[in-house]
Structure 1
Amino acid sequence: MEEIESWFKNLHIAKRSTHKTEDLTYLLDIDCLKVPGGQNNQLVAVSCSNHRVRVYNKQTLTLVQQFQGHSAPISGIRFAQISDQLLFSASCDGTVKCWDVRSSSTDTVQTYKGYPNNAFISFDISCNDLVICAGTEKVKEDTFMVFWDARSGTNMISPEGREPLGVYSETHNDDITQVRFHPSNPNMVASGSTDGLVNIFDISQETEDDALLATCNSDSSVSFVGWSGRELEQIFCMTHDEGFYLWDLAHLHNEEPITLVKMQDVRESLKLDSGNLDYLIGGFYHEKAEKLFVLGGTHMGKLHFLNCDAGDLTHLYTLHDSHSAIVRAFYWDSEDHSLLTCGEDAQLFLWKPNATELTTEKKTSMKLPSDVHRKMRVHSKNAYKSKK
């Protein structure tokens, strides 16, 4: 545990992105492209509240490329898992767009169209880069998980856009806020919704009913979903009212309890030595430590590392440096123990062990009107059910 604490305790801001005052926008999501053969080729992408996507060099945080093509808020960004040049972005405008980060052109490589009235508020791409899935807002009685063949977008431009392979429409009854493919099994995907449910699917099955492997209930609106555990057979979720849940899918067909952690409000049960916890940002499973870690924050931008162990979340460490407003997203690099964070102060930070930032200049907090908001719902408390 001492080694684990040192990973976080030694983190300091090494670099921060800089932009003109008129360019200040919320930074909403983040992803990192790792390229074999050198640190200098790593790229970082962030989505902005002005409907643009920015790409930076990870080591210097200098702006490499900027893409503009969505007409509504961007709900997520993902680099391709295998290709070293493709970046995907999903939007409430009903499209998923593919960009070439190695090209000098800022034109869209491919556009994946949804159905009429689709507004995508979550998405992901499978670990083998073959399938894209996006979750929609509820319109009237319709809520969809929409699927595309991602391969059709490679090496070709099609202005009319690619049509979906199909949809899942029966297993959620409210906005699908999270879609998360399994890190190593391209056929397994989890979804979370404001209906409180986290569903796990095997998309190799022919029908939605056959594909549904399990349904877990958080009793609240789901804000984050991730995979965890040595065999990545655990699924965890966070809720918009700061709940935290961890389930073990390996126990679906035995007598062991599937629920490992159930915390309806982490803020009430967590004891912090330094300040308060206002919200949960997300989590990640550290393979070397074989532990699940959670990152939380305060409205003033302070970051807390939490440890998930023995059926509970405990405070591990609070970073001394901080953002000046709410942190929206992060990316943890377990290879070099670096951290990337971005948020509502319009700043992107690179944190490294024992780093010293050359400049101490900090931007003043600039709270901006945001068209991206958190949604709360009243939920039914259906019991956990599994697909046998």
Structure 2
Amino acid sequence: MEVLEDKLRSLSIARRSHPEKPTYLLGMAQQPEGVLAVSCSNMSIHLHNKETLKLQGEYRGHGGPLCALAFAHASPHLLYSASADGTVRAWDARLPGSKSAQLFRSDSSHSFCSFDLSCGNVLLCAGTEQVDKADSFLVFWDARKPGESPLGVYSESHSDDITQVRFHPRDKDRMASCATDGLVNVFDLSRGSEDEALLATFNGDSCASSVCWCGDDYRRLLCLSQDEGLHLWDLSRLDTEQPLAVFSCRDVRSLAPTAPGRRLDYTVGGAWLEDAGKLLVVGGDNAGGLHLMECDDGGLRLLKSLHGGHASTVRCFLWDAVAGALFTGGEDAQLLLWKPGGAELTSVKKESMKSCSALKVKSRPHRKHYYNASVQR
């Protein structure tokens, strides 16, 4: 079987989308049946065929920027989206263009900037922006009861915009969250109250932008910060005297390995490639180049640099382990499919669309602060 490194090193562009209207591509979610959902800065959701990237339809209904997408695990035709308009909606992927099939709301003051669905398909959780310059909230619903009030909220764990919520891929009660207050929290939701549920709090040193469950049995947690810091923690050590951090760097731009003449300007995110047993970290440069790196206890190792695709900042990616393919989307409004030995049908590279007035969104959407909170165990 071809090893991951060989697959990544042979990646090249196989397909490229050509949208009629310019819009930033912000996030992705994959359906096993062959549909790729992409959230856009014009508050729409596009559905693409995974093989051809052909646009199959779109959804509209949110009144604010989208923050996350997720397909239901048990009902893969159901696509969830969350928005700054304070709603979580569910769409039927079999009916592109239809109205939302389900709607979840909380307090009218809540504006969501993160969201996820538990692996058990029971809990939905959305993280809010800071409310009244004081508080931020984790809001929970029963996914089986759309239209009903939230099950409850956590209000003490973060004090600023909650940038990401991530349920554990296997444990339905385990969840992680991160925020611009610099903190990363891990919860066991089976324990009841917020204080009891909080298992650990980590200090990300600066505004945390994303977290990723990784490692054997997903016992590790990767955190990326908005000023390009990277932290890798081992949660299996929580009840030991061993240090929780297995690798930490305040600015990966200073040490990231890149090809000669290339540089790393930002990180896009991380993904645990379970079949290969490797943690993939994706970064890029402002000209649209991409760097695929492996992260472990020893730091970062460059696997492949991709060029000639995007014309500006890449905002999202998704690795398809079955097809051995990489999807990327960014601020040039392009959706790209990279495959081993891929041969693009057209070699025309789209120009950056940053100058278009339709793209008036912030490229780095949160403020930067610095904190010295200590780790709580």
- Shorter-chain TM-score: what band? over 0.9
Following superposition of structure 1 onto structure 2, how do residues 20-35 of structure 1 map, counting pairs within 5 Å? Answer: 20=20, 23-35=21-33
* Structure 1: 5+ residue stretches without partners: 36-41, 154-160
Q: C-alpha offsets along residues 224-261 of structure 1, whole Å, 9 cap, x if unaligned?
A: 10001111110111000000000000000112111011
Given the alignment, which residue of 318, 330, 337 partners 1:331? Answer: 318
Given the alignment, which residue of 70, 78, 94 partners 2:70? Answer: 78
Instruction: State the SS of the aligned residue for 1:216.
Output: strand
Residues 66 and 105 from structure 1, CA distance in 2 versus in 1: closer, same or farther, beyond 3 angstroms? closer
Given the alignment, which residue of 23, 26, 49 partners 1:57? Answer: 49
Q: C-alpha offsets along residues 333-372 of structure 1, whole Å, 9 cap, x if unaligned?
A: 1222101110101011111111111111222211044334
Given the alignment, which residue of 326, 332, 339 partners 1:345? Answer: 332
CA RMSD of aligned residues (A): 1.4
- The amino acid that maps onto 1:196 is G
Hey, what's the Cα distance between the residues in 1 that align with 2:30 and 2:239?
Answer: 36
Cross-structure match for 2:265: 278
How far did residue 151 of structure 1 move? Answer: 1.1
Q: C-alpha offsets along residues 89-109 of structure 1, whole Å, 9 cap, x if unaligned?
A: 110010011100112551110
Query: Is this contact kept in 1: 2:56–2:96, CA < 8 A?
Result: no
Query: Is this contact kept in 2: 1:33–1:44, CA < 8 A?
Result: yes
How far did residue 312 of structure 1 move? Answer: 1.1
Given the alignment, which residue of 32, 35, 42 partners 1:43? Answer: 35
Hey, what's the Cα distance between the residues in 2 that align with 1:33 and 1:341?
Answer: 16
Q: C-alpha offsets along residues 288-345 of structure 1, whole Å, 9 cap, x if unaligned?
A: 3212110000111111011113331122221243211110000001222101110101
- The amino acid that maps onto 2:136 is T
How far did residue 115 of structure 1 move? Answer: 0.7
Matched residue count: 370
Hey, what's the Cα distance between the residues in 1 that align with 2:302 and 2:97?
Answer: 46
Cross-structure match for 1:12: 12
* Structure 2: 5+ residue stretches without partners: none
Structure 1 length-normalised TM? 0.92
Between 223-232 and 365-374, report the one with greater CA deviation.
Answer: 365-374
2:209 equivalent to 1:223: yes
2:368 equivalent to 1:381: no
Instruction: State the SS of the aligned residue for 2:145.
Output: helix
- The amino acid that maps onto 1:270 is A
Hey, what's the Cα distance between the residues in 2 that align with 1:82 and 1:63?
Answer: 25
Cross-structure match for 1:39: none
Query: Is this contact kept in 2: 1:174–1:194, CA < 8 A?
Result: yes
Structure 2 length-normalised TM? 0.95
Cross-structure match for 2:284: 297
Cross-structure match for 2:220: 234
Following superposition of structure 1 onto structure 2, how do residues 307-318 of structure 1 map, counting pairs within 5 Å? Answer: 307-318=294-305
